[in-house]
Structure 1
Amino acid sequence: MEKFSEILNHFSIDRKSKDAQTIKKTIELCDEPEVKHKEKKMCVTSLESMVDFGLSLLRTNNILAITSEVQGETQNSQRYTIEKVQQIADGDSMVCHKLNYVYALHYCHFAGSTRTFMVSMIGDDGTKVKAVSVCHKDASFWNPKSLPFIVLKVKPGTTPICHFLNDDQIVFVPSE
């Protein structure tokens, strides 16, 4: 955050603009301290950094990088039918989320013990999706006011929390 003004000046971004506020939120996320003994995280600016961080977290040179795939383009919210669910991994994983910033930036974090699935679905309009689903076995250290707990009406640590990844997010798991 100490270089926030310098960053805005470098990219000619007005301090009062929406872009400036988005950049500020991104920097704050990257500057947040890790939850001790529960989370390892890093904001990375290159594929090489992403892979290196994943290799160090997962403690193996054999990893898979998996992302959701959408065949075709659809802007409509629609109903999907699940055709197949395949477990990809059961154990430690790392997830990288694309961030809004002036250049490529991803927030990568050790997701802990998870079960990772590939879910094949088809939309009412025929759109085919292979979506990655990650189920966090231990969400006890998450913020109790975060959306999953509100929507599911559960407390941290009482049940696994599962979610789909967007097609701009990547999960890294050890390969067999």
Structure 2
Amino acid sequence: MEKFPEILNHFSIDSKSKDAQTIKKTIKLCEESEVKHKEKKICVTSLESMVDFGLSVLGTNNILTITSEVQGETQASQRYTIEQVQQISDRDNMVFHKLNYAYALHYCHVGGSTRTYMVSMVGVDGTTVKTVSVCHKDISFWNTHAIPFVVLQLTWQSCSSKG
């Protein structure tokens, strides 16, 4: 954060703009300390760094990569019907999230034991989606103001009781 003004200047971003606020949130996320022994995380700018982090944290090169697939993509918000749910893993996993920043940046983290599912859905307009869903078995160390809690209007107790 100490170089935040320099970053905005380098990319010619107005400090009062929405882009500046988004970049600030991204930097804070990347600089936030790890919850010791519960989560390992890093922000990376390259595929090579993603792979290196994954190999070092998971301790194996026997890794399955999964991504979402969309057929008939639409920009419209719509309802989807779940057609199939298939469990694909019941152990630690690593997730990579694209972040909003002035260049390519990904948030990579592994945070304890999870169950991972491949979910197939179809939208009302016929758009089909195969996406990954991850259920965390232990969220007791999460920040209760994190996006999943806010978006789903959940408390830690309601999540932990659902397993």
Name the CA shift for 1:145/1:40 in 2 (closer, same or farther; >3 Å).
Answer: same
Task: Determine if the alignment matches structure 1 residue 20 to structure 2 residue 1.
Answer: no
Q: Normalized against structure 2, the TM-score is what?
A: 0.89
Q: Give 1:139's aligned residue.
A: 139
Call closer, same or farther: CA 1:48–1:122 in 2, change over 3 Å.
same
Q: Secondary structure at the match of 2:12?
A: coil
Aligned residues: 160
CA RMSD in angstroms, aligned pairs only: 1.7
CA distance in 2, matches of 1:68, 1:112: 22
Could you tell me which amino acid in structure 2 is paired with residue 7 of structure 1?
I
Q: What is the deviation of 1:3?
A: 1.4
**CA-CA distance at 1:30 after TM superposition:** 0.5
How many Å apart are 1:75 and its aligned residue?
2.4
| Partner Cα distance (2:82, 2:102) in 1 | 37
The runs of 5 or more residues in structure 1 that have no matched partner are 161-176
1:27-38 aligned at under 5 Å gives the runs: 27-38=27-38
Q: Is the 8 A contact 1:83 1:120 kept in 2?
A: yes
SS at match of 2:53: helix
Deviations 1:113-165 (A, max 9, x none): 111111111112111110111010111111234454462455164333xxxxx
Q: Which runs of 5+ in 2 are unaligned?
A: none
Letter in 1 for 2:25: K
Please report the TM-score for the alignment, with normalisation by the length of structure 1.
Answer: 0.83
Matches within 5 A, 1:95-106: 95-106=95-106
Q: Secondary structure at the match of 2:37?
A: coil
Q: Give the Cα separation in 2 of the matches to 1:154 and 1:138.
A: 10
- In structure 2, the partner of 1:126 is 126
2:78 is aligned to 78
Q: Which amino acid aligns with 2:91?
A: G
Tell whether the 8 Å contact from 1:94 to 1:112 is kept in structure 2 after alignment: no
Distance 1:108 1:36 in 2: 16
Relative contact order, higher structure (CA 8 A, sep 6+):
1
CA distance in 1, matches of 2:91, 2:127: 31
Higher strand share: 1
Percent identity over paired residues: 76
Distance 1:35 1:114, change over 3 A: same
Contact 2:139 2:156 in 1 (8 A): no
Indicate how the Cα distance of structure 1 residues 47 and 147 shifts in structure 2: closer, same or farther if over 3 A, else same. closer
Distance, in Å, in 2 between the alignment partners of 1:31 and 1:154 is 24
- Poorly superposed stretches of 4+, deviation over 6 Å: none
Match of 2:48 in 1: 48
Shift of 1:102: 0.6
Specify whether residues 30 and 146 from structure 1 end up closer, same or farther in structure 2 by C-alpha distance, changes over 3 A only: closer
> 1:143 & 1:63 partners in 2: Cα distance?
28
Higher helix share: 2
* Partner Cα separation in structure 2 for residue 157 and residue 21 of structure 1: 32
Cα contact 1:94–1:111 (8 A) shared by 2? yes
